[in-house]
Amino acid sequence: MAEPKYSSFTLNFNPAARGNEKAPTLRGKSKVLDADGTATEFEVAAWGPKKASTGGPDYYDVSFTPTDPAAAARQARAGDPGPVRNAIEGFDLTRIGYGKIFERGDAELAAGKSLPKFYGHVLVQLAGQAVAIDLSAWKREGFYSGNANLHDPKAAAAARAGKQPAEPRPR
């Protein structure tokens, strides 16, 4: 029997960040599934929180580095991402391996119990192509866990319009 395939995204506070501005505040791992079901694992690091200049939610700069050394080298050399297979409307990702996660405040979380504490996007290279990933993580006991799914432009457009997507999102 084959092991079930699913995406994952975990974060833990980094104790080494205390007193060290260059160390990431959060560290973790992620497994991202491509459209063909191929899994790619990443080391995750996040620096923040930073205040948004526009008055929006606090955010963290996040980096995704493939655990496979050859894939990490290809991603580091990628340079300009060019066309993104599943670009996010209204959210500009400019560097492969980097993105932003936003942190919801306690008041916002109390209003909607099913909302993730962290949510955001990152741009990574899968199968030699730049793809956008949606991130979300909920508070668990002592850490944060959630998922890292390929961004689905059709589902996002339907959600903005207040409609259900025509097709269920593959997992």
Cα–Cα nearest to 33, from 1, 3, 76, 63: 3
* 6 in Cβ contact with 147 (< 8 Å): yes
3-class DSSP state for residue 159? helix
* 151 in Cβ contact with 89 (< 8 Å): no
Residue 93 and residue 139: Cα distance in Å, rounded?
A: 26
pLDDT at 111: 86
pLDDT at 1: 43
pLDDT at 112: 74
Divide the 171 residues of the chain into consecutive groups of 10 and give the mean pLDDT of each group: 76 86 92 92 95 87 96 88 88 92 89 88 92 94 93 82 56 49
3-class DSSP state for residue 121? strand
Q: Residues near 47 by Cβ (< 8 Å), separated by ≥ 6?
A: 24, 25, 60, 61, 62
Domain ranges of the chain: 8-161
